């Protein structure tokens, strides 16, 4: 190359970089992944979304009759993925707290540069005398989200008030430096931007200490703990992390802390004034304590960890807690199938009566609904399920819940393989809601004080006295 050519090349390169830096960097603040969740009262709704770049403001404009008459501002926090590229995005949270219960709102979200398209939601109805309808499922994922089209169609037809996603979201949200999670969140946006999308963590959210789960979902009273409860009409819902038992190396204290919190929360929900107002108590978490699946999951074990607690010590098991507080229904997923159990306690069937097993059952009713998609195929069933197993299906699908009133709760299972056909339905009827063993003989063991002290646990009662 002649000297002149070299000089020309250098000159061109310098010019090119000068041109590039003469422009400000592109600002990428289009709101994405818009979703909502209930908060602590029917006047409130939490609105969340993500942006590639930081903006000064996080704004929601909203109002009734299609008019965006109100505005609220909130916060944006950087979420750094744990992968080698440390991909960063900005998560906005804006709490609307002046809603009229039961009212339908139109809203847009955005910042000082750009706003989203319009979305709509309905604020929670006030009081207890209404009939919540929910879509419930786990294990959906991105590449095989079988139930999503039908769920969206149902939602647009106004069939639900809210969604429970019982863990295992985007298989796995951390993959491709979190781009898979972004894709999943955008995929569920049509559903999750109109219906409160209430969640619990599953094993596929585990990576980087559940940081994708924690940053992408903001649940009422959760504050990153990954367990919380909320009230909806005549129901008290409790969301748990079953994953503390299996990813204990992220912090075994979380098992104790959740257990203590759960007992306290259920005690309060089951107090006479609360229970007469909101008689139904429904607990949901990702991994079941019973299942009839093939394979070696915890729920296939005679004494599963979820049911009986940590091995050998048998501490922090959930079955006694649910039984003692008269929990009406427990919902799990993780098994890629649907299974309905007869009322069961300690592996014994506790039918209300032989002819009407779900009328005043003598133990909690449990279902497993983990067949909304996933990329690992459906789970098979063993040939001879135990006698607590009432019905099972390997069809992809999801559950619909309709809490008719304080005595009747109806559930049905939809099959996506059979084009939306309802393949199972049952009604729990309770004229009495409360602890199952009225004699009080079978109590969940309380932790000895010295164990609590060693674990750094201050029991909630003591804390309150201070
Ligand atoms: C935003 O941050 C402020 C100050 O940290 C806090 O008081 C407020 O509750 C936050 N708002 C939301 C919607 O998270
Ligand atoms: C994981 O997160 C929890 C909750 O924030 C925290 O208590 C725990 O220390 C974390 N574990 C590790 C290993 O960072
Ligand atoms: C008990 O009732 C009070 C008053 O309605 C309510 O604020 C509280 O959240 C209830 N507690 C539970 C655990 O449901
Ligand atoms: C529970 O009820 C169902 C339905 O009637 C029945 O098939 C089952 O055998 C009952 N189980 C027991 C242990 O009574
Ligand atoms: C998925 O599981 C079903 C039932 O066990 C089986 O028939 C089918 O061949 C499996 N499909 C794939 C792709 O492995
Ligand atoms: C609750 O709903 C069931 C089923 O619709 C009905 O038979 C029952 O009378 C209702 N109970 C009350 C108290 O409204
Ligand atoms: Fe799972």
pLDDT tens profile 335-388: 999 999 999 999 999 999 999 999 999 999 999 999 999 988 999 999 999 999
CB of 95 closer than 6 A to ligand 1?
Answer: yes
Residue 166 Cα to ligand 7 middle (Å): 9
Query: pTM (2 decimals)?
Result: 0.91
CB of 408 closer than 6 A to ligand 6?
Answer: yes
Give 27-44 pLDDT, tens digit per residue: 899 999 999 999 999 999
Rounded Cα gap, residues 132 and 169, in angstroms = 23
pLDDT beyond 80 at 456: no
Query: Taking CB atoms and a 6 Å cutoff, what residues make up the pocket around ligand 4?
Result: 342, 349, 351, 354, 357, 387
Contacts (Cβ under 8 Å, ≥6 apart) of 34: 47, 48, 49, 109, 116, 119, 189, 192, 193
CB of 185 closer than 6 A to ligand 3?
Answer: no
DSSP 171: S
- Indicate the range of 8-17, 35-44, 303-312 predicted with least confidence: 8-17
Q: Are strands 133-137 and 365-369 parallel, antiparallel or unpaired?
A: unpaired
**42 vs 457 pLDDT, higher one:** 42
Of 205, 236, 329, which Cα lies nearest the Cα of 38? 236
Q: What confidence score (pLDDT) does residue 23 get? A: 78
pLDDT beyond 90 at 10: no
CB of 82 closer than 6 A to ligand 5?
Answer: no
Residue 306 Cα to ligand 7 middle (Å): 14
Q: Are strands 408-415 and 88-96 parallel, antiparallel or unpaired?
A: unpaired
CB of 465 closer than 6 A to ligand 5?
Answer: no
Rounded Cα gap, residues 330 and 323, in angstroms = 11
For the CA of 60, the nearest ligand: 1
Instruction: Please name the residue whose Cα sits nearest to atom 14 of ligand 4.
Output: 354
- In a 3-state reduction of DSSP, which class is residue 178? helix
Q: What confidence score (pLDDT) does residue 464 get? A: 35
Residue 45 Cα to ligand 1 middle (Å): 14
CB of 72 closer than 6 A to ligand 1?
Answer: no
Q: What's the average model confidence in pLDDT over 254-276?
A: 97
Domains of the chain plus CATH, in order, are 32-122 (2.60.40.380), 133-454 (3.60.21.10)
- In a 3-state reduction of DSSP, which class is residue 305? helix
Residue 281 Cα to ligand 3 middle (Å): 12
Q: Are 201 and 161 in contact (CB under 8 A)?
A: no
Q: What confidence score (pLDDT) does residue 428 get? A: 98
pLDDT grade for 147, boundaries at 50, 70 and 90: very high
**455 vs 396 pLDDT, higher one:** 396
Give 375-385 pLDDT, tens digit per residue: 889 999 999 99
Q: What confidence score (pLDDT) does residue 440 get? A: 47
Q: What confidence score (pLDDT) does residue 129 get? A: 97
pLDDT grade for 261, boundaries at 50, 70 and 90: very high
For the CA of 396, the nearest ligand: 5
Residue 210 Cα to ligand 5 middle (Å): 30
CB of 429 closer than 6 A to ligand 6?
Answer: no
Q: Are 76 and 83 in contact (CB under 8 A)?
A: no
- In a 3-state reduction of DSSP, which class is residue 390? strand
Q: What's the average model confidence in pLDDT over 12-20?
A: 59
**Burial zone of 112 (CB within 10 Å; 0-12 exposed, 13-18 middle, 19+ buried):** exposed
CB of 255 closer than 6 A to ligand 1?
Answer: no
For the CA of 235, the nearest ligand: 3
pLDDT beyond 60 at 442: no
For residue 100, say if its preceding peptide bond is cis, omega within 30 degrees of 0.
no
pLDDT beyond 60 at 48: yes
Instruction: Please name the residue whose Cα sits nearest to atom 6 of ligand 3.
Output: 274
pLDDT grade for 25, boundaries at 50, 70 and 90: confident
For ligand 2, what atom is nearest to the CA of residue 253?
7
Rounded Cα gap, residues 28 and 47, in angstroms = 20
pLDDT beyond 70 at 1: no
Kindly list the protein residues that place their beta carbon closer than 5 angstroms to ligand 7, a single-atom ion: 168, 202-203, 334
| CA distances in angstroms from 175 to 53, 87, 205, 285, listed in the order given | 20, 11, 11, 23
For ligand 2, what atom is nearest to the CA of residue 249?
13
pLDDT beyond 80 at 8: no
**Terminal-to-terminal C-alpha distance of the chain:** 83
What does the DSSP assignment read for 235-249? EEEEE--GGGGTSGG
Q: What confidence score (pLDDT) does residue 463 get? A: 36
CB of 405 closer than 6 A to ligand 6?
Answer: yes
Mean pLDDT (the chain, rounded):
92
Q: What confidence score (pLDDT) does residue 12 get? A: 62
Of 360, 48, 381, which Cα lies nearest the Cα of 189? 48
- Indicate the range of 191-200, 395-404, 454-463 predicted with least confidence: 454-463
Q: What's the average model confidence in pLDDT over 305-309?
A: 98
Helix and strand numbers, DSSP H then E, in the chain? 11, 25
Q: What confidence score (pLDDT) does residue 466 get? A: 31
């Amino acid at each position: 190359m002649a000297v002149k050519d070299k000089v020309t090349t250098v000159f061109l390169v310098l010019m090119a970089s000068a041109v590039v830096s003469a422009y400000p960097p592109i600002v990428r603040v289009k709101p994405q992944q818009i979703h909502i969740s209930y908060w602590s009262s029917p006047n409130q709704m939490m609105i969340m979304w993500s942006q590639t770049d930081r903006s000064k403001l996080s704004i929601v404009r909203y109002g009734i009759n299609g008019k965006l008459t109100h505005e609220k501002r909130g916060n944006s926090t950087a979420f750094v993925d744990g992968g080698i590229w440390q991909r960063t995005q900005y998560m906005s949270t804006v709490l609307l707290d002046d809603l009229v219960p039961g009212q339908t709102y139109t809203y847009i979200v955005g910042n000082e540069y750009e706003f989203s398209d319009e979305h709509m939601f309905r604020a929670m109805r006030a009081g207890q005398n209404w009939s919540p309808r929910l879509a419930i499922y786990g294990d959906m994922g991105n590449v095989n989200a079988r139930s999503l089209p039908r769920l969206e169609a149902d939602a647009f037809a106004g069939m639900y008030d809210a969604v429970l996603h019982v863990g295992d979201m985007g298989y796995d949200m951390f993959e491709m430096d979190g781009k898979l999670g972004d894709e999943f969140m955008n995929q569920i946006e049509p559903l999750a931007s109109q219906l409160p999308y209430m969640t619990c963590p599953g094993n596929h959210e585990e990576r980087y200490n559940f940081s994708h789960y924690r940053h992408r979902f903001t649940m009422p009273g959760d504050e990153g703990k990954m367990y919380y409860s909320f009230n909806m009409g005549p129901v008290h819902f409790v969301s748990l992390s079953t994953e503390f038992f299996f990813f204990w190396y992220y912090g075994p204290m979380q098992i104790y802390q959740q257990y203590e919190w759960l007992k306290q929360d259920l005690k309060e929900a089951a107090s006479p004034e609360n229970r007469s107002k909101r008689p139904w108590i429904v607990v949901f978490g990702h991994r079941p304590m019973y299942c009839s699946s093939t394979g070696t999951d915890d729920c296939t074990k005679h004494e599963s960890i979820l049911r009986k607690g940590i091995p050998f010590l048998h501490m922090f098991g959930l079955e006694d807690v649910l039984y003692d507080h008269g929990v009406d229904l427990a919902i799990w997923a993780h098994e890629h199938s649907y299974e309905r159990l007869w009322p069961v306690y300690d592996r014994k069937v506790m039918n209300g009566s032989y002819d009407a097993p779900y009328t005043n059952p003598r133990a909690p009713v449990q279902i497993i609904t983990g067949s909304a998609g996933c990329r690992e195929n459906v789970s098979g069933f063993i040939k001879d399920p135990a006698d607590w197993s009432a019905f099972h299906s390997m069809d992809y699908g999801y559950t619909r819940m309709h809490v008719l009133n304080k005595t009747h709760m109806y559930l049905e299972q939809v099959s996506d393989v059979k084009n939306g056909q309802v393949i199972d339905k049952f009604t729990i009827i309770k004229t009495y809601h409360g602890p199952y063993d009225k004699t009080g003989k079978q109590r969940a063991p309380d932790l000895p004080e010295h164990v609590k002290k060693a674990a750094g646990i201050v029991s909630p009662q003591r804390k309150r006295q201070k």
